[in-house]
A and B are shown apart, each in its own frame.
Chain A
């Protein structure tokens, strides 16, 4: 899923400081699963912003709506009637949400309530970790299910570098060295020779480096 964090309250408060009537739009997709932009989190943010505003003795009306997904126009369509009634709209979706909303309703001002972080999963309740860098050409199978592009701090294809110590990365004692794990797995399997080749440099055109990307499924097109 796409993992995000809620923006600092100070930043959100600043976004709406001149607004008296605000809509919070949650998303039932990834950000609900990572407990940051679903119905519940929308309610919490609404209550928090109201407390903050009340403290100043000023009025703030906040309405809340959480839609199925903010990355599909058909759901964005659902707020069509109401979205124009507010001074500002805060999207609690990943970075796609406020953009799709802005594109659909150019008259309205939309703000991101979240900082979108990475593609990852929950390793335990309350902890998410990055697993994919979206490079566009997956090579995970070559590394026994461990991605060096997303999980090595230097994205190197021939690791581990000289900074690997006791299974951890040089950048932090809390970041594992994925290359340490790749090597150990290959050794256990007796397939060390897999790592003794020099791979060609990666073609980054399939990644963001090649410019904004687009996926087309011909069989699904209407026309």
Chain B
């Protein structure tokens, strides 16, 4: 296994050819470490790695790097997220080094939602570099042992580099090319935006496979179980870049209110089953937003337990 890039559990699982299953955990809007640890325990043993979000939706929270370090203490593997909105290349570089020093081995490079959506819309946005350049920066630090300025790093941070992909943003025809760009910049794995429109995603994946992208990186399909019909409606109308087909909303509305969450999980599980068979899909990224306590059940019913030990 000497040819591993980072040696992270996620990398090993994927490399061994297992169907990967990752989760997500948002740091608290405060310093409540106990609650954070509780949330983490629901994920332990049920996923291969857990995304630790970085001021998700531009809402200020505990630093992703700190929550990632706590997660390591708790015996889980973090996928440390970093957005380009909140810091410049100096801040990012030091956090990449710091995260690695704390034991972080997976990193997800993101642009970040515009601060307009968050709780500090008055903030100055940074965007010194963009997500593509961040991917290239982490790769350069890892593979060449150099900073962006070409100066040498004494010990390289060996990160397994992740990137996001949203097949449902526009223009659709360009999306697969942007994915290719991320792969060429150095992304080892991709986690997609929440998928609901399966027809469109099948078409997208066919294109990605045809372009040979799935030979060069691992694609994890993003799944977020709908908790209710109103949530589906909200995501359809209010969340940019998410596509919720009318059929799904109808399906959720078709059952009683108290059963809508179960129906949402059922749909998510059907998706997982299809992804297991879908060409080019290496795993699922299960984003059960503020639903960590349901993860043991979701993993169980998705038939992905026990998680492989590699």
Contacts and interface: CB of A to CB of B under 8 A. Distances in A.
Given A154-B84, A198-B136, A164 B170 contact: yes
Contact of A170 (B89, B132, B241): B241
Contacts of B164: 162
A157 B130 CA distance: 7
Interface SS majority for chain A: loop
Contacts, number: 107
Nearest to B130: A156
Contacts of A180: 170-171
B295 interface: no
B241 A164 contact: yes
A165 B170 contact: yes
Contacts of A162: 111, 164-166, 169, 193, 240-241
A150 to B, nearest CB: 12
Interface in B143-167: 148, 164-166
A197 B136 CA distance: 11
Contacts of B216: none
Contacts of A195: 174, 177, 181
A183 B129 contact: no
Contact of B174 (A156, A160, A199, A204): A160
A192 B181 CA distance: 12
A136 to B, nearest CB: 15
Contacts of B119: none
B131 interface: yes
A158 B169 contact: no
Contacts of A200: 133
A200 B111 CA distance: 16
B240 A192 contact: no
A199 B131 CA distance: 11
A78 interface: no
B85 interface: yes
B184 interface: yes
Contact of B240 (A156, A163, A187, A197): A163
Given A170-B241, A195-B177, A201-B128, A163 B133 contact: no
A192 B116 CA distance: 31
A165 B114 contact: no
Contacts of B130: 154-159
A167 interface: yes
A153 interface: yes
B180 interface: yes
A162 B136 CA distance: 19
A156 B131 contact: yes
A122 interface: no
B241 A165 contact: yes
B113 interface: yes
A161 interface: yes
A201 B129 contact: yes
B113 A170 contact: yes
Contacts of A139: none
Given A154-B125, A162-B193, A187 B173 contact: yes
* Residue from A159, A161, A187, A200 having most chain B Cβ neighbours under 10 A: A161
A19 to B, nearest CB: 31
A158 B181 contact: yes
Interface string A155-192: 11111111111110011100001001001100100001
13 contacts: A156-B127, A158-B131, A158-B181, A160-B170, A162-B169, A165-B241, A180-B171, A187-B174, A195-B181, A197-B181, A198-B136, A198-B184, A201-B129
Interface of A: 153-167, 170-172, 177, 180, 183-184, 187, 192, 195-202, 204
Given A162-B241, A163-B114, A201-B129, 10 more contacts: A158-B178, A160-B170, A161-B111, A163-B113, A164-B241, A167-B170, A177-B170, A180-B171, A201-B89, A201-B137
